[in-house]
Amino acid sequence: MEYAEKVNYSPNPIALSLKENKSRAIGVIVPEIANHFFSQAINGIEDIANKRGYHVVIFQSHESYQREVTNIQHIIARKVDGLLISLSGQTNDVSHLQEIQQKKLPLVLFDRVSDKIEAHKVVADNFDGAFKATEHLILSGRRRIAHITSPSLLSITKERLMGYQVALEKHQIPYDESLVKYCGFEPEEAKKLIFNLINEQKPDAIFTTSDRLALDCFSAVKEQGILIPEELSFIGFTNLKVAHLLAPSLSTIVQPAFEIGQTAAELLLDSIERKQHHVEEFRTIKIPTEMVVRNSSQILLQNS
C-alpha cells in the first residue's frame, strides 16, 4: 500500500475492464453535435457520467439512418456499458436498437424516441409546450397559425403537432393541413418552403420548432419586407439571447436540454449498475418545458 502510494500507482483501467467485463464508458449517439440542443444535452450527460465515474464516448449520426446503424455496430464492438441515443431524422426501423437490447446492453432513448421499441425514454413535454405556444398565439388574436416543423417520422414532430392541433380544437379553429409544413435538414429546403408558405397561405402567425427554422423564417420575412410583429406573429427558437435581439418581445418555450441529458444519464447508469439484479420496468420520463413570455404574441419553441 505504501509502496503503491510511493510510486503513484493507479490501476490500469483496460486490464480492469477485461477482468470485470465492463468499461465504465457509456456511448452517446446524437444526430449532430454542433447543435445547441444536443450539445447542451451532452453537457448534462457528461455532468452525471463524470460524477459517477463514467466516461462519455460520442458518436454522430448526421441525421442519417445508415450512419446510425454503423454507429451502433461500433458501439457494440467497443463494449461500452450502456447507450444513450437520440434518433436521426431518417430513422424509422429500430431493429438496430433491438439488437442492442438482445445483447443486454442498457439503453435509454432521449428527446427523439420511438414507439416501436420498449426502453427507458426521456423526453421534453412537447405536447404541452406546443399546446401552450399555440394557445398563446390564439389568445393574442391570431387565427391562421402556420406550423413549420421537423421531419414527420420524428416523435418530437408528432407530439408537437398534436399539441398544436388540440389547442386549435379547444378554441374552435379548424385544422388546416396546408398550414403545416415538414422540413428536412437541407439548407435550401427550408427557405423555399417558408417563402411559399408565407406567400400562398398568408398566415398571421408562425410556430416553428427549431433554431434553424425560426432563423429561416426571420430571413424570409425580412427579405419579403413583412414587418415583425405587426403582420406576422412568431415563432420557434433555441437561444434566448439571440431571440431577444431579433425581436425584443419574443416569447419562448424553453426546452430543458441539460435536464434531459442529466435524467437520461441517471437512468442509464442506474440501469447499468443493477443490471444483473432484476428485470426492470421501462420508464418514460417527461421533463416539463417552460414558457418565457415577453409581453407579446410572439412565441418561441426551442430546438430540437
Partner DNA sequence: TTGTAAGCGTTATCAA
Partner DNA sequence: TTGATAACGCTTACAA
- Rule CB under 8 A: which residues touch a second copy? 10, 12-15, 17-18, 23, 25, 33-36, 39-40, 42-43, 46, 55-60, 74, 76-79, 215, 218-219, 222, 241-242, 244-246, 248
Q: Which three cell numbers stand for residue 194?
A: 417558408
Q: Which three cell numbers stand for residue 91?
A: 430513422
Work out what residue 9 binds among a second copy, DNA, none; the CB cut-off runs from 5 to 8 Å by kind.
Answer: DNA
Query: Closest Cα partner for 139 from 251, 283, 258, 259?
Result: 251
**Cβ distance to a second copy smaller for residue 70 or 165:** 70
Candidate segments 9-17, 24-32, 215-223, 268-276, binder of DNA by CB under 7 A: 9-17
The whole-angstrom separation of Cα 250 and Cα 238 is 12
Among 3, 6, 11, 187, interactor with DNA by CB under 7 A = 11
* 147 bridge partner residues: 180, 207
**Cβ distance to DNA smaller for residue 11 or 174:** 11
**Cβ distance to DNA smaller for residue 15 or 227:** 15
**Smallest gap, in angstroms, from Cβ of residue 153 to a second copy?**
24
**Smallest gap, in angstroms, from Cβ of residue 155 to a second copy?**
23
**Cβ distance to a second copy smaller for residue 180 or 287:** 287
By CB under 7 A, tell whether 174 contacts DNA: no
**Smallest gap, in angstroms, from Cβ of residue 264 to a second copy?**
16
By CB under 7 A, tell whether 21 contacts DNA: yes
The whole-angstrom separation of Cα 234 and Cα 247 is 9
By CB under 7 A, tell whether 178 contacts DNA: no
**Cβ distance to a second copy smaller for residue 25 or 291:** 25
Beta strand 82-85 with 145-149 is unpaired
CB 268 within 8 A of CB 304: no
Work out what residue 173 binds among a second copy, DNA, none; the CB cut-off runs from 5 to 8 Å by kind.
Answer: none
By CB under 7 A, tell whether 18 contacts DNA: yes
CB 124 within 8 A of CB 287: yes
Query: Closest Cα partner for 125 from 101, 100, 155, 154?
Result: 155
Beta strand 120-124 with 107-110 is parallel
**Smallest gap, in angstroms, from Cβ of residue 13 to DNA?**
8
Question: How big, in percent rounded to 5, are the helix, strand and coil portions of the chain?
Answer: 45, 15, 40
Beta strand 180-182 with 252-254 is unpaired
**Cβ distance to DNA smaller for residue 21 or 295:** 21
Work out what residue 33 binds among DNA, a second copy, none; the CB cut-off runs from 5 to 8 Å by kind.
Answer: a second copy
**Cβ distance to a second copy smaller for residue 45 or 197:** 45
Handedness of CA 61, 67, 73, 78 (dihedral sign): negative
Residues with Cβ within 8 Å of 14's Cβ and at least 6 positions away in sequence, in order, are none
